[in-house]
Amino acid sequence: MTAPNAADLAAILRRQRALPLFTCGAAADGIEVLAALHGAGFRVVEFTNRQPGNVDVFRDLAAAAAARLPGLVLGAGTILDAAQAAAFHAAGAAFIVAPHLDPETGAWCAARGVPWCPGTGTVTEMMRAHRAGAAVIKVFPADALGGPAFLKAVRGPLPWLALMPSGGVTPEAENLRAWFAAGAHCVGIGSHLVDAGSIAARRFDVVTERAARLAATLAAIG
């Protein structure tokens, strides 16, 4: 798949409804995770930069995914500054996700047409992210900020914001339904879907089952 622009990424995430995210220390493990997610129908996935040397892992993982998983769009998350954005983009990242709102990273992405999904925790930050051209605005940590009630309150006066709650989102139908009823554009979901223990034990069958169940739940909740 051609690398999406900001509007394309936002549209794909609206259809997909969830952005799976994970990290690992070896590309061989990562490709198994991506294969599980791809098999369940997820085409946009975030690899989070949480471990030393992750940019090298990402480079190998992006190359393997391009060869083996048609249509997969792989982005890099936990990107803290423009230098990291440049490194991961050079390694193959199609989009950039951050836990915070960093204007320099946003400017770097905008200048190169790289979709950017910054993290925000206040209405002021959300508006700044929107005006800076964010593809989707990450609300983080969403559960600690007030959960679906917070999201609904923000979207009252600002219904055009494409908000992606992340942090505390779980795969149960009741939880997902609450976020979408509050106006979520999509949700970010990490360890409840792909956990470190399953990767360490190479229990990719667990990831496969969870991904399939999540996809079915998202389709069923309407």
pLDDT tens profile 169-193: 999 999 999 999 999 999 999 999 9
Active site residue 46: yes
Q: Write down the pLDDT at residue 3.
A: 86
Q: Write down the pLDDT at residue 59.
A: 98
Residue written as token pair 């995770």: 33
Query: At 53, which amino acid appears?
Result: G
Q: Which whole-number Å values give the CA distances from 215 to 161, 164, 176, in the listed order?
A: 24, 17, 12
Structure tokens given for 6: 């900001």
- Out of 32, 104, 138, 172, the active site residue is 138
Q: 3-class DSSP state for residue 127?
A: helix
Give the whole-angstrom CA distance, residue 104 versus residue 20: 26
The torsion defined by the Cα of 48, 52, 54 and 57, in degrees rounded to 10, comes to -140
Q: Write down the pLDDT at residue 1.
A: 58
Pick the CATH number of 6-217 from 3.90.1150.10, 1.10.940.10, 3.20.20.70, 3.90.226.10: 3.20.20.70
Q: Note if the pTM is more than 0.85.
A: yes
159 within 8 A of 183, measured Cβ to Cβ: yes
Active site residue 138: yes
Structure tokens given for 135: 């593809």
Beta sheet of 137-139, edge-to-edge order:
119-120, 137-139, 163-165
The residue ranges of the chain whose pLDDT is under 70 are 1
Q: Write down the pLDDT at residue 120.
A: 98
Q: How many CB atoms lie within 10 A of CB 13?
A: 26
- Out of 46, 152, 172, 174, the active site residue is 46
> Residues in the chain, how many?
222
Q: Write down the pLDDT at residue 178.
A: 98
